[in-house]
Amino acid sequence: MLKKISLVVFLFLWFVLTNAIGETQESYINNEWGFRVSIPKGWYVTEASTILQSLESQQNISSEALTAIKNSGLVINISEYPFASKVGFNPNLNISAKNISIEPKPSSDKEILNFAKQILSSMFTGREHGFQEVSINGFVGINSSYKYLTKDNVEIKNEIVILIDKDKNNYFIATFGYKDKEYIDIFKRCIESFNKL
């Protein structure tokens, strides 16, 4: 009898913990840029080529907006609902990747952090922003957050993490848009899973 109760307690705790931790369903692997990231259970992955194809077919998007998306280095969009779903707001994580184009390439952690700060400053032109230094699975970078209001006056929160792989001179920009606080844990788990192949 005690063994059955122990088994029931164990199964209950396992269920609670795996749901609280946010068990991931799978990993997204990108061989071109050499990274892996965990996908939240039940979320959707859309690669940049599919996003661009979808946007190009829309008549209400400007060529400047399309060019900006192409130049951003977008690799994938991970979202709670399928890409382009007609929902009020679709919490999403975008990961972009680029090669460091300056010479000499930053090599020390201090130079890498300064480069990451320059990227962040270019994204926040004319706006105040703070940041924290981060180190994740061999990447060095910074984390920042900001808020904005949509045209419908809804406050959207954004987290940005810029990670640099000094071995390959690539950098990654992960941006996560959400409205509700519980989503921040999802973002943190995804970013903490970001790893080199």
pLDDT at 128: 60
* pLDDT tens, residue by residue, 83-114: 888 888 888 999 999 999 888 888 888 999 88
- The half-sphere exposure of 84 on its side-chain side, counting CA atoms within 13 A, is 12
pTM (whole model) above 0.85: no
The token pair that represents 182 in the structure block = 């519980």
Q: Mind listing the domains of the chain with CATH numbers?
A: 26-196 (3.40.1000.10)
The token pair that represents 193 in the structure block = 């899973």
pLDDT over 80 at 175, yes or no: yes
- Percent of the chain at pLDDT above 90? 37
Q: For the stretch 31-51, what's the b/e string if a residue is b when 16 or more beta carbons lie within 10 angstroms of its beta carbon?
A: eebebebbbbeebbebebeeb
- Percent of the chain at pLDDT above 70? 84
Mean pLDDT estimate for the chain? 81
Look at 60 and 115; give whichever has higher pLDDT.
Answer: 115
* pLDDT tens, residue by residue, 123-174: 776 556 678 999 999 999 999 988 777 778 877 888 899 999 988 999 999 9
